[in-house]
Structure 1
């Protein structure tokens, strides 16, 4: 059915996306009720770095989720002591040539946000999934227009060659999920030659005239063919010239049509950094909280990136929504955007029903925040990483949620340290 109702729905969907994502007008009516919370960021110092045996790169991507410790379970877990926290935030670095190092860190000014998770109406838990990671009616928006895909904020979303998504957080860095590169025991097979794809418009110029030569496929001029003109009439020469021009015009038109379609521009990853907290030896209850990794590219991507941010409680921000875009497997080559409210929050995780499919894992979860202690401009800032679908133990009952790992002050300090190599630029703005 492609009649007027379908057209009306498409126009309505586009209007919703434009108004929610691309417009910088009003935020919400409760904007004035939002108070900026000043957050202290600890300092990460490197104590020692040792070289480890090169990884085997033998792990397979695990598609089926396990059962993780839920909010009630997490409340019973003891708060990590500073020494334990330092162990969890120490990290491995894998380089492009296959070598690997382990860096032990020391934390100064340790702080954590103790979030009082809100209870949620159990009606949400009774929703039936029609598709994996999609709850009820599919609320995703498939972004197809080249002017949207290749412009911020959608252009900050990237695709990993391992099949996950990620988000640009600096001119050379991509934030993604740890499970997109490491299964908790070893690095995935595809990470040995890991690449990151950025959506850009196809180059309009293809081929061209060589210096001192002619265009590819162009026939030689009369002056270049000796006495050819003696054997051909003037009319035949004009016909040949006219045919050549038509052929070149057709080639230019074809190239112009192809340039309208965005394509992935792939860049090799120089190094990958994963926190020790993700490793299985840390325990399943802890590892889910540290499902994030940072990738450094071999060359800058020259696209606008999204800054890091921290939100103590999503329900306290204007509109109370989170947003993220990724490359879901059922929409190959297209950016898929969604937004939703967070149903429950813990100190390290956000539980929600943002519709998603496999391939969106690793996408950056962002909100709108003010700079300069709540007095500056509104900006989109990454406050978490979408981890994917999980079965969560809630009071002995297994419920399925889509889960995102939140950026806490300690994680912010670590990721910022990875990006800048020091604490001088790791202060919230």
Structure 2
């Protein structure tokens, strides 16, 4: 966190970082009417095997490179894909069918290229632009405090006192639930403090005073004790502020049927998101959901996210970058990221329409690395799944249990 650009990006209002072509008015959250998802019926399914490998097979994922050739989904296909599985802590599973009301079907948006060069397969592109958040003042403060770690090796983001948004493939590979997801846990970052407490009863000094030691002996012992305590304090200062995780069990997991096998083709990348309900509520500030705006309505076309990359053990890693391409459901970008950061919540900071406050909202879920065929040329991107109005309605329904709080987003 020594790079001054980081502090500049973090502390400066978003609209001041871009050119005059975008005004402050452009950089506001524009509330949209959200379609209604209504539960139709819930069916009991057989218990999953929990035997899938955690690694997602990207060559079996239908991304925009194959969806360009498909017609826009019909209402019945959307309802099938937005129906969802729920797997419970005891290993049982249900399927909930939904009906969609008040939806405006949008035409399929093709991928547009912007001169991106062909790249070798890697997730860190050129100079590594990631920042490890090491200062406890930031680790324990919003927005960084909303990032969580999953026991399956992914990241996620807090979106309510009881819920975590993450990538579906972190718990389900498109065919079955992954090993370890039956006892899935979520790690909330906390800072470990050692020492600094009151002297325990029955300590050496207390025992000595009780036996009536001489004043001189007491002074000598006091000097020795100060020296010992001084050495311990130096060690404690080195350890103070080291991150650890408070692990919480997951009560149930919701995954759209579009991912688990009900959509068109094998595990469409459009539906690579899941919601985890925690068994015990947390007390941290969480990040609200937001409908993903088009790139032209984002400050500088840039996105931000934080996660626990595997190559930086237990460090929270923050990054930002501009979006290279977009479709109706996906962002394609070159944010530097390594395995472990998948499932992170991608967020923006925009101004509220009816006030002067700037608010961060999660508008996408980071899915990972993918090769894309564009006019016969293979290009690779790091991909994120956008929160569209329909996905907002679905995730909001999962969080609140009804659609009463999901009219606008």
Report the counterpart of residue 382 of structure 1 in structure 2: 362
Task: Check whether the contact 1:41–1:111 (CA below 8 A) recurs between aligned residues.
Answer: no
CA distance in 2, matches of 1:89, 1:147: 40
CA distance in 2, matches of 1:222, 1:367: 61
Task: Check whether the contact 2:56–2:173 (CA below 8 A) recurs between aligned residues.
Answer: no
Report the counterpart of residue 103 of structure 1 in structure 2: 96
Report the counterpart of residue 289 of structure 1 in structure 2: 270
* Residue among 364, 372, 389 paired with 1:392: 372
Report the counterpart of residue 173 of structure 2 in structure 1: 183
* Residues 1:80 and 1:186: Cα distance change in structure 2 (over 3 Å): same
- Does residue 119 of the first structure (1) align with residue 112 of the second (2)? yes
* Residue among 138, 149, 152 paired with 1:159: 149
Cα drift, residue 428 of structure 1: 3.1
CA distance in 2, matches of 1:141, 1:279: 34
Look up the SS of the partner of 2:281 in the other structure: coil
Cα drift, residue 172 of structure 1: 1.5
- Does residue 61 of the first structure (1) align with residue 58 of the second (2)? no
Task: Check whether the contact 1:321–1:340 (CA below 8 A) recurs between aligned residues.
Answer: yes
Report the counterpart of residue 353 of structure 1 in structure 2: 334
CA distance in 2, matches of 1:384, 1:337: 15
Report the counterpart of residue 70 of structure 2 in structure 1: 77
Task: Check whether the contact 2:82–2:98 (CA below 8 A) recurs between aligned residues.
Answer: yes
Q: Give structure 2 stretches of 5+ with no counterpart.
A: none
Report the counterpart of residue 220 of structure 1 in structure 2: 207
* Residues 1:376 and 1:290: Cα distance change in structure 2 (over 3 Å): farther
Report the counterpart of residue 397 of structure 2 in structure 1: 417
TM-score of the superposition, structure 1-length normalised?
0.86
Where is the helix percentage greater, Structure 1 or Structure 2? Answer: 1
- Does residue 174 of the first structure (1) align with residue 164 of the second (2)? yes
After superposition, residues 261-410 of structure 1 pair within 5 angstroms as 261-284=242-265, 287-372=268-353, 376-410=356-390
CA distance in 2, matches of 1:86, 1:323: 31
Cα drift, residue 220 of structure 1: 1.3
* Residues 1:258 and 1:323: Cα distance change in structure 2 (over 3 Å): same
- Deviation digits for residues 49-95 of structure 1 (CA, Å, limit 9, x no counterpart): 22222221111112653264454532331222222211111111112
Structure number with larger C-alpha Rg = 1
CA RMSD of the aligned region, Å?
Answer: 2.6
- Does residue 139 of the first structure (1) align with residue 139 of the second (2)? no
Task: Check whether the contact 1:48–1:103 (CA below 8 A) recurs between aligned residues.
Answer: yes
Cα drift, residue 102 of structure 1: 1.6
Look up the SS of the partner of 1:282 in the other structure: coil
- Does residue 16 of the first structure (1) align with residue 5 of the second (2)? yes
What is the total number of aligned residue pairs between the two structures?
Answer: 405
CA distance in 1, matches of 2:261, 2:404: 32
- Deviation digits for residues 142-190 of structure 1 (CA, Å, limit 9, x no counterpart): 2222222222211111111111011111111110000000011111111
Cα drift, residue 287 of structure 1: 2.0
CA distance in 2, matches of 1:406, 1:394: 21
Cα drift, residue 109 of structure 1: 1.1
Cα drift, residue 236 of structure 1: 3.0
TM-score of the superposition, structure 2-length normalised?
0.89
